[in-house]
Structure 1
Amino acid sequence: MTLPAGPKTPSWLLNQQFQADPFGYMDAVYKRYGDMVTIMSGSTPTVHISNPLGIKQIFTNTKEITARGALNRSFAPGTGNQGVLQLDGLRHKHRRKLLMQAFHGERMQACGRRICELTEKIISQQAIGKPFVAYPTIEDITLRVGIEVVMGLREGERYDKIKHLFASIIKYSQSPLFEILTKLPFGQQDLGQWSPTGYRLHLRRELFQSLYASVQERREQADSSRTDILSDLIVARDETGEPLSDEEVRDLLLSPIFAAQDASGTALAWSLYWIHRLPSVRERLLEELDRLGESPDPMSIVALPYLNAVCNEVLRIYPTQLFTFPRLVESPVEVMGYELSPGTVLIGNIYLTHQREDLYPQPKEFKPERFLEKQFSNYEFLPFGGGARVCIGATFALFEMKLVLATILSRYQLGLVSKHPERPKFGGLICYPASGVKMVMYGRRQHQGQSQPLVFGSV
């Protein structure tokens, strides 16, 4: 076996360096070792690849390289033991198909106006002249959308409880206190609700119980006219023709809602940051939106080329996930000239692929125009991963991004509170804005044939 070069630093220290400055760490590793790097985890070599040709090999060489669900077991506490991330083979393929049918066609079109309504409702609650943090505000929108699309719930006691639990789990897991406490001795042990890990597990149990109750209730009150994912799963049959168990249905609900809330919310928060940091981007977007008139059809908004380019550039510079889900070498295989042995783990580094000078000149600069000038392959631009483990809601995530942004930009005048660059902070798979993107509402924006200038007032 011939492995690419890599740092000899102990893995625990590399992890600390990464946590402190993820992008700086990855840029430094790439500069020293190139686009294939070996990181040792005990005796297991993990090869990180940021070359599009190498990424294509690991996505398409499915005989020697597999995307085993067991490699994602660290996500099981949040996604369930029977969630789509943990499944393999025919079960995985079958469940993905069940989940993905809700994110395409007429269903997706039907919820377009609802996304705009929810965005308007929540953003309109911001007080004029008073700063607010965009990230949790946007996550409130994406979580509501996720619960409605996945579970078909809009209001009521169960809706409120499930929404509260999903929001609490994300907020608690990203809190500085939780990060500090879990690094202390015994910090990752379940010592009851007063311990950080114990409290998170308590929230998880509460969420699982609420979802399970929803599954049982829906099974007792089956309604063929419903068009949400939960209703689809209730009547679905597995690959052997048997109904899915209540536990499996519950677990399959988790990933789509968490992804809708966290990944989509993060991408939208970064979008607001870049759009309001670069006035030329904002003005061009408003000109494009204004040409559609005052109450455009959601599908007309989604088709706008510059809006699409802006969303893609947001996802390029800060992808919703920094890495692909891991793959495992099952039999000897050659990747980019290296002979790799069984047991080697392969991970596509999405961030570094998106930072390649040969693909994206001046990669640190926010330039949406690059997506108008060139069509990138699925191995060059892969913000939602790729291959068998590509995000099931990728198409819907872009759809939602465009409609939320269009609603906010066309109807409200916002500004950034700080002139300092927003710093990314890594959590789980995602790099979210460390300050949450602090903004201020200046008032409603009147539609014009041409975009009006943004007038900043005193705060």
Structure 2
Amino acid sequence: MVTLQENRQSEPIAKQLQSVKVPRILQTFRGILWPIKYLEKAFQEYGDIYTAEFAGFPKQVVIANPQAIQEIFTADPKLFNSGEANKILQPLFGNYSLLLHDGEYHQRQRKLLIPPFHGERMKAYGDIVCDIAEEVMSKWTIDKPFEARSSMQEISLRVILRTIFGLDEGERYEKLRQLLTLLLDTTGSPLRSSFVFLEVLQKDLGAWSPWGKFLRLKQQINELLYAEIRERRAKNDLSGEDILTLMMSARDEEGQPMTDEELKDELMTLLFAGHETTATALAWALYWIHRQPEVREKLLRELDTLGENPDANAIAKLPYLNAVCSETLRIYPVLLFTLPRITKAPVEIMGYRFEPNTMLSPCIYLIHHREDLYPEPKRFKPERFLERQYSPYEFLPFGGSNRRCIGMAFAMFEMKLVLATILSKLELSLAVNRPVVAARRGITMAPVGGVRLVLKGQRT
């Protein structure tokens, strides 16, 4: 159990952690360029709790032990500075993003943002998801290969634009869609991801420099978001069902609404977190479903039990579909780590003592690949989620505790509806039936090549 060490003169903890025996700069570049290989090697050499170093960050404790993660997730959040640990996200999301704050402000923003993504309001988005998926599917041509991740990104971006703004058409929305795609593509390879992590590379050397291009795209997006906010304020119509209207009408316990800058930064957070991650997960799901024909056949048999034009809520409850989505998020989680925590005072976890300003980083990938939890962890096996109920400390694709992703339920709902819509209507196959590996794409991990698929025809 996590405990706060108030008596600095107390007997020191005997247990000692192993540290990665590689210079910090080499650890940094391995973590950026070859993160999975680097993590797996460190796990084999140093165990499931070890210390590592990463340029620009405090000493990092990589944690792939369920008991340790349980102690962190169930501890008093006041023991940690979680927002400070996410400082690398500030250039993308802005100063007021939910992810960059702790304490009362974090609780306030979380309460304001959670309602649109849960319950009946979320279910109302079901038809929107299916309609947009069908519109994108209609652009695919028989026998012509296409990149699944790009198509899934178009679906998920249009869904998040529709749910946030109530529209996904018009000049402003089309421009926003284009700019968001360009912004994310600035970190679309392991090498281009370096400037996200290394502050020394964050130099504006003009519009053609990586950081200069990033800043100019971000500024254009900010201007579009501010224009939308000002237009909504001028209309003073809070009767809409879209997320922006709900955010503008929300009031905290003191009766105060969000400011324009708070709205802008939270919109940026939702736009990024609400579509890039889902698009990548969907691309992986389509890869595994078509890589293993028995998975596809089993999934189709389950979908067929619902008949024609099934209800979105019925789709969301299908057990094997849920298992396929869960296994997709297990084998290649979009984020390798949960949001980290920086200790504010000395703490103990499983008998280890951690001094202030230590970064605790639960590793989603390593937990998801523990052989004692997931036998044959490299094998895609949805059945494992039907055979066993995993705890929130063993399966954690959306993080945990008070930092768990607020869009978790919506992301799973969207994944299931998009997969059901595609698979029930179309026959697809992999363009090239060879293994696809993951590579860094900014702070996320995505399939190299985006998963190439071919439309074979309508499903009969």
TM-score normalized by structure 1?
Answer: 0.93
More divergent stretch after superposition (320-329 vs 433-442): 320-329
1:268-315 Cα distance to aligned partner (Å, 9 max, x none): 000000000000000000000011111101111000000000000000
Matches within 5 A, 1:299-318: 299-318=313-332
Cα RMSD for the two superposed structures: 2.0
Per-residue deviation, 1:405: 0.3
Q: Contact conserved, 1:78 with 1:204, CA < 8 A, in 2?
A: yes
Q: Secondary structure at the match of 2:324?
A: helix
Who is 1:143 aligned against? Answer: 157
Which AA in structure 2 matches 1:323?
F
Who is 1:204 aligned against? Answer: 218
2:145 to 116, 128, 131: 131
Who is 1:23 aligned against? Answer: 36
1:220-253 Cα distance to aligned partner (Å, 9 max, x none): 1132321122112212223433222111111111
Who is 2:338 aligned against? Answer: 324
Who is 2:113 aligned against? Answer: 99
Name the CA shift for 1:417/1:8 in 2 (closer, same or farther; >3 Å).
Answer: same
Q: Percent identity?
A: 47
1:40 to 33, 47, 53: 53
Cα separation, 2, equivalents of 1:347 and 1:410: 40
Per-residue deviation, 1:175: 4.8
Per-residue deviation, 1:67: 3.9
Matched, 1:53 2:67: yes
Structure 1 unaligned residues grouped into runs of 5+: 447-459
Q: Secondary structure at the match of 1:173?
A: coil
Per-residue deviation, 1:393: 0.3
Q: Secondary structure at the match of 1:137?
A: helix
Name the CA shift for 1:231/1:180 in 2 (closer, same or farther; >3 Å).
Answer: closer
Per-residue deviation, 1:47: 0.5
Cα separation, 1, equivalents of 2:328 and 2:273: 17
2:182 to 145, 156, 168: 168
Cα separation, 1, equivalents of 2:288 and 2:182: 27
More divergent stretch after superposition (215-224 vs 365-374): 215-224
Cα separation, 1, equivalents of 2:248 and 2:302: 42
Which AA in structure 1 matches 2:381?
K
Name the CA shift for 1:63/1:108 in 2 (closer, same or farther; >3 Å).
Answer: closer
Name the CA shift for 1:7/1:370 in 2 (closer, same or farther; >3 Å).
Answer: same
Who is 2:6 aligned against? Answer: none
Q: Secondary structure at the match of 2:445?
A: strand
Who is 2:412 aligned against? Answer: 398
Who is 2:249 aligned against? Answer: 235
Structure 2 unaligned residues grouped into runs of 5+: 1-11
Name the CA shift for 1:106/1:403 in 2 (closer, same or farther; >3 Å).
Answer: same
TM-score normalized by structure 2?
Answer: 0.93
Q: Contact conserved, 1:317 with 1:355, CA < 8 A, in 2?
A: yes
Matches within 5 A, 1:8-407: 8-41=21-54, 44-62=58-76, 65-175=79-189, 178=192, 188-407=202-421
Q: Secondary structure at the match of 2:268?
A: helix
Q: Contact conserved, 1:90 with 1:239, CA < 8 A, in 2?
A: no
Cα separation, 2, equivalents of 1:33 and 1:234: 49
Q: Contact conserved, 1:354 with 1:360, CA < 8 A, in 2?
A: yes
Cα separation, 2, equivalents of 1:183 and 1:405: 33
Name the CA shift for 1:75/1:182 in 2 (closer, same or farther; >3 Å).
Answer: closer
Q: Secondary structure at the match of 2:72?
A: helix
Which AA in structure 2 matches 1:61?
A
1:51-73 Cα distance to aligned partner (Å, 9 max, x none): 11100111121266314312211
Name the CA shift for 1:128/1:358 in 2 (closer, same or farther; >3 Å).
Answer: same
Which AA in structure 2 matches 1:71?
A
Per-residue deviation, 1:40: 3.0
Q: How many residues align?
A: 446
